[in-house]
Structure 1
């Protein structure tokens, strides 16, 4: 069984113009980092012209489907029945994107099949992680 899940999503960038442009993005989940999800945007979709990856808690994404969540760099909230809003805050500015809630639910369901919610701690090898940190120091 694969230890990584990747799901392409259509993100709609909210801008000052009335029409939201569609940009490609992908949600990622890796059993090796069981508490986190990543959302990546390819270089052509970013202002800097480089791939951008945001990492945040799987729990934040799941909770954000039901109610506004997050106080830091990433915030998630429902928008109507079928959309979820993700806000990414950086010193350069804020990006706000809408994604289909069904895509997020599907992604979270697949992630839960890989690592059930509440059992993430069983995937963490603290000794290995500590040894790796010590090597890097």
Structure 2
């Protein structure tokens, strides 16, 4: 199975920030899927050393309706945006994506997962 890695632009705000999401510039975020490590999980790499791992199904559910599991929550924001919220002991990070980028990434992960394993 093949690894999927996709870069997306997102707006990030931490609970220590006072700036509204729309006032900040977009930053690069990397979306990763490695079925050899865990075929049910995806990773989101934020700028700096921050990387979050959570279920692919949580992302899919959260694009349609609010969903959450433990430290990660996902919900649609209007017709073209989605929000992913990460909770840790250091605080909360809210990441706003274009939904199309997340849907494209999910489609690529399902294609990768369906590929036969080479022997």
User: Which one is further off, 78-87 or 2-11?
Assistant: 2-11
Structure with the largest fraction of strand:
2
Structure 2: distance between partners of 1:84 and 1:26: 16
Matched, 1:28 2:27: no
For the residue of structure 2 that corresponds to 1:60, the secondary structure is helix
User: Partners of 1:90 and 1:20 in 2: how far apart?
Assistant: 22
Would you say 1:81 and 2:79 are equivalent positions? Answer: yes
Shift of the alpha carbon at 1:20? Answer: 2.8
Which of the pair is proportionally richer in helix? 1
CA-atom RMSD in angstroms = 1.8
The two structures have a TM-score, normalised by structure 2, of 0.85
Compare CA radii of gyration and give the structure with the larger one: 1
Identify the structure with bigger relative contact order (alpha carbons < 8 Å, sequence gap 6+).
Answer: 2
Aligned counterpart, 2:108: 110
Unaligned runs of 5+ in 2: none
Does the aligned pair in 1 maintain the 2:66–2:73 contact within 8 Å? Answer: yes
TM-score normalised by the chain length of structure 1: 0.74
Structure 1: state its 5+ residue gaps. 44-50, 117-122, 124-137
Report the Cα distance in structure 1 between the residues aligned to 2:46 and 2:50, rounded to whole angstroms.
5
Alignment of 1:47-126 (within 5 A): 51-116=49-114
8 A contact 2:58–2:69 mirrored in 1: no
Report how many residues are paired: 110
Distance 1:5 1:92 in 2: 29
Runs of 4+ with >2 A deviation = none
